[in-house]
Structure 1
Amino acid sequence: MIDPLQYLDLDVSPEALLIPAALLFIHSLAVVSAFHSLLHVRTSQAAIAWVVGLVTIPYVTLPLYWMFSRHRFEGYREAIREVGDQHQHSVTAIRRELFTEQADRPTLSASSLSLVASVLETPISAGNEFRLLIDGKAFFDAMLMQIQSAERYVYASFYIIRDDQIGNQFADALIQRARAGVTVRLLYDEVGCLRLSNGYLRRLVDAGVDVHSFNTRQGWVNRFQVNFRNHRKLLVVDGKRAIVGGLNVGDEYLGDVPSMSPWRDTSVEVVGNLTRKIQAVFAGDYYWAARSNLPEADWQWDPDHDVPDPQDVSDAGDTQGLAVACATGPADHRPRAVMMFAAAIGAAKERLWISTPYLVPDDALLVALAMAKSRGVDVRLLIPTVADQWAVYLAGFYYERELAEIGVPVFRYTEGMLHQKCVLVDDSLALIGSTNFDNRSLYLNFELLIAIADRPFVSKVAAMLDQDFDNAKHSNQSGRPLRPWFARAGTAVARLFSPVL
């Protein structure tokens, strides 16, 4: 009788088992990740997409899932509490500047500014002066002048810093103040400054500038948080003057790069109480990046001249000096950036003009725009003709058609690269800063806008946008011929990736 076992080779080497074991591990981890996506991914559509991808092609989808699926940034609030254990006074000041208690919020919105402040749970600041900085030269002139005027400290945070002509002027200004005994602290985003040379950073550090990257991958929990960014652009000097806007530090923002020239962008220079709130935003980011306090920061507070009663703030009359710091990000427990834009859109009665370089809104904002249009509001959007981010640019064509179906016109700027982030509500409110009208800004980036209800300032913003629309063409009229098939295909593919663009 033949023994069947004699034909079996039972001498299996460990190397032969390695590949099956690795495959089993990958598929098991993919199944676990699929269940994780059902519990934690923000939308049901995205959860289904991740589950299908993880089950069918786990070798490709698994690493992408752990890099790009997360929408909540872990550890940021814990870092502030950690620093607060040793520096309670500073953390208390930050909370006072950026958050209001429920009892202090208006029950009925008296103004568009109050509505934005209420949904963000942040106080309105009075006693401010504003200067509109149109395009790069005005921004860089004001920024360098503010740095040179610093007597105690300079705080700066930018998404991108270039080692080029204007980047070196910026570095020289910081170095000069540091050598003069002024405390100078600089934050930069690790991804945005990926190409920034070590020599540039070393020159700053050697001169006494306190430099930190906003590294989103601190700690084991955050090891794969590569999809989050600190997209804020701000400067604070001595707690009294500040600049917030959409410009980074580089020659292209001056219009010195031919393919992107001229560069159209907007910032705001602020003098007054709002600067402490902008300073509080920097402090929270600094606590995360450096795990340290800002001992030199000026937090002096005068409630009689700083925060008005929200019930007394009205869209009527010559309001002056009122503003709100709109800081949003993936550490928020609620989608505060979406809520901010929805509040501003909902407050519009006569006109709503939005200028943004990236048009990838979510469903909630599309509904809000449709409701504003139905109320008879003059709703219009301004986006670029020139692309600096091709995937986002292509996705924008899809949403152009979506907006055309609800009667909202989209205009494409024809006089260069449009990069400004600006919202105008009636004649009463203007929002300017770093927050784009796209999913990345809404859910994945740390952003900062300032909402201003200063009538003279708002009128200047209206005149600026009026000129911008004169330099644009209506691009989503109904009845226009369809684009070539390859452009439509690229648009459709780009739209699929809109949650991470």
Structure 2
Amino acid sequence: MPHAALLETLIVVFLYILAVFFGIKVITQTAQPAKALGYLMLLFFLPGIGLLIYLGIGENRRINKIYDRKLWRDIRRYEQVKQRIHKRSLENLAANEKALAPFSNVVHLLLKDTLSPLTLHNEVEILRNGEGKFPAVIKALREARHHIHLEYYIFENGIVGDEIKAILMEKAREGVEVRFVYDDFGSKDIKRRFLRDLRASGVQVYPFYRVRFFANRLNYRNHRKIIVVDGRVGFVGGINISDRYSNAVTGKPSGGRAGHSGPSGLASRSAREKVYWRDTHLQIRGSAVYSLQYLFLSDWSFASGQDVEFHDSFFPRSQVQGQTLVQMASSGPDSLNPTIMMANNAIIHNARRYVYITTPYFIPNESVYDAIRTAALGGLDVRMLVPFHSDSWIVNKAASAYYEDLLNCGVKIYRYQKGFVHAKTIVVDDSLAMVGSANMDNRSFELNFETNALVYDQGVAVQLKEQFLADLDDSDRLDAARWGRRRGFTRFQESVARLLSGIL
């Protein structure tokens, strides 16, 4: 018995020595205090389990080096087009100075930080849910003549996935260049035969950062949902390729997955059955498609190891005469700054009348949290639409921990009841609409590759606002007084989850 007790003591001491070692690593290598605090809590309160979690989803120097190489490739392309993009964007800004006045600093932010051009001559269509997106995508794919480029976090076998697969194979046999990048974690249920069939028909397919071991399976993922056809039409937003995203497809979710993976890759039992899926995507025609093309080709170069030349067939002269202004906000582990997070802050700070936010995962950092509270305290109409039930218990608890303070500041919070709301949108003052792949959480701001489209157009903004207000009819508004009477144990759970919010 003494020997057993001694062995137990030695194991505990050894685990705490490891906790101290990795704790020093966390402090020196983790930039965000909330994230560092979360890891330190795990390491010292659960020394064995916490260490495994840190090794599984924590910092990874090898990945950083890999993305350094990706960033270097992107910078080379950046220098090739820098002057031309900068000049044209400033011309568009000057020509539309009055319309863009409230958000000119947002335009400058994206232009200076990521060289994201402000493009004119665009036509933008809001696609509601999968039943709105997939027919438009299938039509565009069938009309492809030169190339099809797809980049998706989740691509699953099923009615939708199989139909798109058949079109890609058909187009490849016709001589159309088809390139497909899928995230190796998000799309882990793609069947090998599915990929073999694509490659056999001439489709070029590569995973984005192949998962070989568990370590960092959940971090540094490509969360983008992009399609570019012939350099003329593009799709961007929150809708992946899967049957669950279309309410026109009945039955259980396809692909054998136990529900959609949330920000930490976890799925709840409630997500196993088919539920009504509320989501938003954009179809864009015009010069803004060039930005999506640039993003795809940069990610393709990283995933495939190929350097694709930026020839004119990828960036054909646009014939679109529309006057919609569009700019892309993109960021990821290879970014010098958390661009999407900074764009969110700038948009909220520049609002003058209202800010309407839809997000499935609300775990903000302090700057975004303060921006929302400041807007509400300043008298703006600030509303948030979030899920009634998230697909991750701990994420739901962490998000709930923020609600009481927001309610007390005057933020109106609505929880969607009809099904699961997965859209990621912001609409402000009938002037700006943002739709994309980024959630309002640390994972989207810092860890994943994301892309949002900013549309500076009254017509699009009003349409998105109307959809937001219609969704409120299917939602329950939180009452501040009733919410404040939550049980003590519930508050405790939320507080613990919030302490871990930096790593969720």
* Common fold by TM > 0.5: yes
Alignment of 1:46-125 (within 5 A): 46-48=35-37, 50-51=39-40, 53-54=42-43, 58-70=47-59, 74=64, 75-79=66-70, 81-82=72-73, 92=79, 111-120=101-110, 121=112, 122-125=116-119
Task: Give the counterpart of 1:162 among 137, 148, 156.
Answer: 156
CA deviation after TM superposition for structure 1 residue 76, in Å: 2.5
Q: Aligned runs of 1:106-255 on 2, under 5 Å?
A: 111-120=101-110, 121=112, 122-215=116-209, 224=216, 226-255=218-247
* Cα distance change, pair 34–497 in 1 and its aligned pair in 2 (3 A): closer
CA distance in 1, matches of 2:38, 2:381: 37
Q: 2:275 aligns with which of 261, 264, 285?
A: 261
Q: 1:94 to 1:257 in 2, by over 3 A?
A: farther
Q: CA deviation at 1:325?
A: 0.8
Residues 93 and 118, structure 2, Cα contact 8 Å, conserved in 1: no
How many angstroms apart in 2 are the aligned matches of 1:98 and 1:36?
40
**Residue type of the partner of 1:115?**
N
1:246 aligned partner, one-letter code: G
Tell me the CA shift for residue 416 of structure 1.
1.7
- Provide closer, same or farther for how the CA distance between residues 62 and 94 of structure 1 changes in structure 2, counting only shifts above 3 A: farther
- SS of residue matched to 1:111: helix
When residues 102 and 65 of structure 1 are mapped into structure 2, their CA distance, relative to the original with a 3 A threshold, is: farther
Deviations 1:232-288 (A, max 9, x none): 001000111101111111111012356443211111100000001011111121121
> Which residues in structure 2 correspond to 1:421-436 (within 5 Å)?
421-436=424-439
Q: 1:289 aligns with which of 280, 296, 303?
A: 303
Letter in 2 for 1:64: I
Is 2:340 the counterpart of 1:337?
yes
Q: Structure 2, unaligned stretches of length 5 or more? A: 1-7, 253-272
Cα drift, residue 71 of structure 1: 8.7
**Secondary structure, counterpart of 1:171 in structure 2:** helix
Residue type of the partner of 1:253? Y
Letter in 2 for 1:81: W
Which digits, 9 at most, give the CA deviation of each residue in 1:443-462, with x for residues without a partner? Answer: 11111110001222222112
* Residue 309 (structure 1) aligns with: none
Q: Matched residues in 2 for 1:185 and 1:213: separation?
A: 11
Matched, 1:389 2:398: no
Partner of 2:456: 453
Do the aligned partners of residues 106 and 250 (structure 1) sit closer, same or farther apart at CA in structure 2, a change above 3 Å counting?
A: closer
Amino acid at match of 2:67: Y
Change (3 A) 1:455 1:207: same
RMSD: 3.5
Tell me if structure 2 keeps the 8 A contact 1:327–1:446.
yes
- Could you say if the C-alpha distance between residues 197 and 38 of structure 1 is closer, same or farther in structure 2, counting changes exceeding 3 Å? same
Check conservation: 2:144, 2:230, Cα contact below 8 A. Answer: yes
Q: Distance in 1 between matches of 2:417 and 2:37?
A: 40
After superposition, give the CA deviation of every residue in 1:282-323 in whole Å (9 maximum; x if it has no partner): 1121121111123475354879x99xxxxxxxxxxxx93101
CA deviations on 1:129-185 (whole Å, 9 max, x unpaired) are 111111111100011111111101000011111111111111111111111110111
Specify the SS of the correspondent of 2:385. Answer: strand
**Change beyond 3 A, Cα 1:386–1:60:** closer
Give the distance between the partners of 1:268 and 1:336, measured in 2 at CA.
20
Change (3 A) 1:465 1:205: same
Q: In structure 1, what is the Cα distance between the partners aligned to 2:364 and 2:396?
A: 13
Summarize the Cα distance change of 1:432–1:82 in structure 2 as closer, same or farther, 3 Å threshold: closer
Q: 8 Å contact 2:34–2:499 — kept in the other structure?
A: no
Q: Deviations over 1:375-398 (max 9, x none)?
A: 221111001124323322222211
Rg larger in structure: 1
Unaligned runs of 5+ in 1: 1-18, 307-318
Q: What percentage of aligned pairs have identical amino acids?
A: 28
How far residue 480 of structure 1 moved from its aligned partner, in angstroms, is 3.8
The farther-off stretch of 92-101 and 403-412 is 92-101
Change (3 A) 1:78 1:232: same
The separation in 2 between residues aligned to 1:295 and 1:147, in whole angstroms, is 22
Q: Distance in 2 between matches of 1:55 and 1:472?
A: 40
Q: Structure 1, residues 106-134: CA drift from partner, whole Å, max 9, x if none?
A: 89995344322322232211111111111
Task: Give the alignment of 1:25-40 within 5 angstroms.
Answer: 30-40=19-29
Given that 1:164 and 1:250 are in contact with CA atoms closer than 8 Å, whether structure 2 keeps it comes out as yes
Counterpart residue number, 1:312: none
Q: Report the Cα distance in structure 2 between the residues aligned to 1:22 and 1:210, rounded to whole angstroms.
A: 50
* Count of residues paired in the alignment: 465
CA distance 1:459–1:49, change in 2 (3 Å): closer
Contact 2:153 2:186 in 1 (8 A): yes
SS in 2 for 1:125: coil
Range that drifts further, 384-393 or 355-364: 384-393
In the alignment, the residues of structure 2 paired with residue 49 and residue 140 of structure 1 have an alpha-carbon distance, to the nearest angstrom, of: 39
Is 1:271 aligned with 2:262?
A: no
Separation (CA, whole Å) in 2 of partners of 1:98 and 1:485: 55
**Paired residue type of 1:266:** T
Q: Distance in 1 between matches of 2:436 and 2:481?
A: 32
CA distance in 2, matches of 1:160, 1:279: 19
In structure 1, how many angstroms separate the alpha carbons of the residues matched to 2:84 and 2:386? 33
Aligned counterparts of 2:198 and 2:144: Cα–Cα separation in 1? 17
Please tell me whether the aligned partners of residues 80 and 288 of structure 1 are also in contact (alpha carbons under 8 angstroms): no
